[in-house]
Every structure is written in structure tokens, then in C-alpha cells.
Amino acid sequence: MLTPPNSFSLNTNLVDLHNREIRPVHLEVTGGIITAIRPIDQAQAHGYVLPGFVDAHVHIESSMLTPTQFGHWAAAHGTVATVSDPHEIANVLGLAGVRFMMADAAHSPIKTYFGAPSCVPATSFETSGAVLNADALRTLLAPEDGSEGLVYLAEMMNYPGVIYQDPEVIAKINLAHSLGKPVDGHAPGLRGEELRKYVAAGITTDHECYTLDEALEKAELGMKILIREGSAAKNFDALHPIIGTHPALTMFCSDDKHPDDLLLGHINQLVVRAIGLGYDLFDVLRAACINPVDHYGLAVGQCRVGEPADMILVEDLTDFKVLKTWVQGQLVAQDGQPLDTAQLSNPSYSEADLPNVFALGTVTPTNFDCRSSKHVQNGQTMARVIVAYDGQLITAEEIDTLPVEDGQIMADVAQDILHIAVVNRYTPGRPISMAFIKGFGIKEGAIASTVAHDSHNVVVVGTSRHWLAEATNQLVWSKGGISVASRGGHKTLPLPIAGLMSPDPAEQVGAAYAELDQAAKELGCTLRAPFMTLSFMALLVIPALKLSDLGLFNGDAFAFVNTEVE
């Protein structure tokens, strides 16, 4: 008699998260389903089986990898599923971008659960490549062909639209509720009465808390708190006490993970840190493995009879070294390395298959003029400056004195005040939006990216108009990517899928990204993740001061402001 595929048995120590106990068992898997868990007398010498980890909120596009490539390395670190918002590619390509992600994810070794992007465009204060209204979202959440729709309405970033009952925003939320699907939140710093209105609209999660008091207030209102630790936004240190106070409301997420970081670890890193701080083992593992499955209703096994064998074998319960990862009973990773079997092979793409839109032509330094409105020829002016913080998405506003030469407001490298520009990639000939930024530390040169949340225009930071143009043109010629321009030479990582992702293997993309990360730091940049921080400088829904292709934007007032101060 032939053994069905994805069938095996093993004696192991089972970490039973529902009964909060560890016991030796004989576990049987038949056809990818756990068919028996029987007690045995003797504890095993080493190794523990437990449900696999779940990333409760991630934008796969931010890894610069396709879903399949992301999945290979997430599996290597014990992740068996992700709750993924394809918001980034949707802002570039609309429904076609979401469907590209879904088609690619069908080849992934892990389970990828997409949400319907709620904010395309994210705001009316920027130019994106697409618009998704409530009718478009219905085609994703409840397809007319009767197929299973996407599992949730992704992060509702337009919290003013929720609070003040914008008809289109409310229509999207009501659509999700009518279909019995959860609605994700995104409300950094929202407190008090406005928060209560936001929660009353039926929004159930938040991954944007950056202080413990904020997280506790939201948890008391019943919101699930996602502790985020990505490549740029790192909130674990501030929020981890909520694991102890509200374990049933806690989940872990990466949100945005760059490729070099993904090669090193994923949700497993948060588990190790939380255990190291002394939190209860079962509370931590429920946050990492069970709470996202329950909240989103995911078809992910939890190490119980009759459920899919979505599980991991770890060496111990301190360092959580992942020895094996199974998804639906298929071994997909072993000893910290992905297994690339024929069944899990990557889809191959020709250049014609790669979806993109990039209408921007070559630019010159004069396109980056930043004229003083006060008609100062040679002297000084007062200007608003964005202050970027390492490891945070939030920024501050600072008023600084800047030099003016021949009517142009100049950067002041000695004060670490640089030029920042956002260049519209969708409509040729648009004026370039200019402002100033502090916190990057670049001494000479520029860095640029089309991974620029949320509309993914070109965002570039540099010491002069010359270098802004040089870094931007690298992306014009590659039709998207990330770049460094300096006297030492120019470097570019092309991202031909929507200007966001590469079809290449994760190891190759990770090595190329690490090279550009190092090149940026050789310019003097002091940020741990220069390109990830850069990508959030056009994210208008995160306070306080950001820049879009339409102008300098105050996220607290939700309105444009002038660069120069009267």
C-alpha cells in the first residue's frame, strides 16, 4: 500500500498551546493532516513540536521580494503563514497588482492570506497609480465567481475619514462587516474621544502604537495590539509589557522587512526576546502562533487532530532554533534553510510578465530648484525641517535657519539638514516637490527609492541638487528600485515589479540590498536602515511632518504647510 504524500509520524515533545502543557506524544500526519496524537511514556531527549509562527501584519512588497521568495525564507525561520496587505502594489497597479501577488503566492511554501487594501490612494494629498473604491474591493472580498474572497479589509489608515464619517470610507468598512470580515486599523497616536469613535466603527487591530500608554488605552477598548518589529519601525521595546497585561489581545508582526533582515530572522526573533524577558511561554507562543489564526479565521493548523500539519520542530524553548518547518505536512525548511522542491519551485517571469508603470523621464539639477518665496538672493531664511528618527515611522517638525544663494534655499550639511524631494513617477512633467530633512547624516551624495509609502513615487535625500538628480536618474533608467549616487560611484538595485520587487532569489536581492545599505552608510548616513527610513518619509498618514509629490504635509493637522516660515 502506497503512503499518501505529506505523511509521516514522529515521537516528540508537543507544546500544546490550548491546554498550556508540554507532553511527550506520538504524532501522525496523513495527507498533510494530523490524524493522531497519542501519549507516550518517555519525554524525548531534545526537540519540541509546536504550531508555526504567523506574521499578523506584513507588506511583502517591502521586502523587495515576491511572495514566493519571501515565503522560502520566512519558512526557514519557522513562519507558516502571513496576514499580508498588498497595499503597496495596489497603490501602483490597482487590482492587477493585487492579483499578481495572489498568483505568485500560490507558489509560496507558506500560507499567504491577503487583505483587500482599504486606502488606494492612501490620502487625497498625493498622487498614486490607482484608485480602489468600495465596488472594486467587493470584487476582492466577495468575487462574483463564488470563489473564496480575501480574508479581511486591510489597514484603514484614513482615520480622519472614519472619525468624520467620510461616505466612501464608511462604505468600505460596512462592506467588510456585511461579509463577516475583520477590519484592520492604523491610527498612530490616536487617543481619547477620537480613538473611541474609531473603535466604534468596528476596527479591531492596531500595529502603529509607539508608546505603551497608547497601546494600553487601545487594548482597554478591545483592540488587538500587534507588536511590530520591522526593519525601520521597531516598537517591541516600548510595547512588550502588553504581553503580560493583555496576552489574549497581543500578536506579533514585522509590517515591513527588508531582504537582508529577512535572511537573519522573522517572528522567531520576537519570540526569543519575549521569552528572554521572562514572559510566560504559553502567552508568548499564543501571540506568535494562535491569536492571529483565531482573529482572522485562518485555515492554519494549531497542532490538533484533524487540522493541517502547519508546525515546527525547535531545538529548545529558549533560543527556538528551527530544525524543521512543515506546511500542510510538507517539509519546506530544515536547519534554518529553505527547501526548494519541485512542488515549491519559483514561478519564472519574462521581462514582459513584470507589471510596472514608470512614466518619469530623465531629470536635471534645475528640476530640483527650491526658490525662496521671500525673494532673498544671498542670506538666510527660516524653514520647516522634517526630523527623522532611527527606528521610527513618526517624524517631528523643526524650524531652522537655512542659507539662501542666488534665490535658492540650500541644504546645510554642517547642521545635518539635507534636501528631500518627492518626484511623481506616474505623470510626466509634474513639478518636483522639495523640502528639507534632518537625521540622515549624509555628508555628500544622495540616496533614492521608489519604495516610498504609500504612493511609491520617487523619494530622494541628498546634499545638493546635483546629487538628487544623479540618484533619481539611476531609478529612471532602471524603471524603479533603490540607488546611491556619490563621488565613489553609483549603485542601483533594480526593482522591475512595480518598482517595488525583484523576481530574483532572496539571497541575491539581500546581498545587493546589503551592498547599497553599506554604500549609503559610507556617505555618512547614521541610520540603521537608511532605505527603510527613507521609504516612510512620504507616508502622510504617520505624523508629524512628511512630503508628498504635492507638497509638505502636516500629519497632525492633515493639511499642507509651507516650507518657509514667515
Average pLDDT over residues 162-182: 96
* Cis status of the peptide bond prior to 213, with omega within 30 of 0: no
Note the pTM of the prediction, 2 decimals. Answer: 0.93
The answer to whether the beta carbons of residues 24 and 13 sit under 8 Å apart is yes
Residue in 346, 342, 323 with CA at minimum distance from that of residue 75: 323
Which has the minimum average pLDDT: 130-144, 328-342, 394-408, 448-462? 328-342
Question: Using one digit for the tens of pLDDT, what is the confidence trace for 303-351?
Answer: 999 999 999 999 999 999 999 999 999 999 999 999 875 444 567 788 7
* Structure confidence at residue 296 as a pLDDT band (50, 70, 90): very high
Instruction: State which H helix or E strand residue 30 sits in.
Output: strand 21-30
Structural domains of the chain ordered from first start: 53-299 (3.20.20.140), 365-560 (no CATH)
Per-residue pLDDT for 257 more than 50? yes
Average pLDDT over residues 468-497: 97
pLDDT at 375: 73
Beta strand pairing status for 48-51 and 8-16?
parallel
pLDDT at 342: 43
Task: Report CA-CA distances (Å) from 29 to 32, 75, 327, 330, 425.
Answer: 6, 19, 11, 10, 51
Cell numbers found for residue 240: 512588550
Report the C-alpha gap between 266 and 257 in whole angstroms. 8
Residue in 437, 427, 459, 436 with CA at minimum distance from that of residue 548: 459
pLDDT at 3: 57
CB atoms within 10 A of CB 111: 22
Per-residue pLDDT for 482 more than 50? yes
DSSP annotation of 295: H
What are the φ/ψ torsions at residue 9 (nearest 5 degrees)?
Answer: -140, 160
Average pLDDT over residues 183-205: 96
% the chain with pLDDT above 90: 87
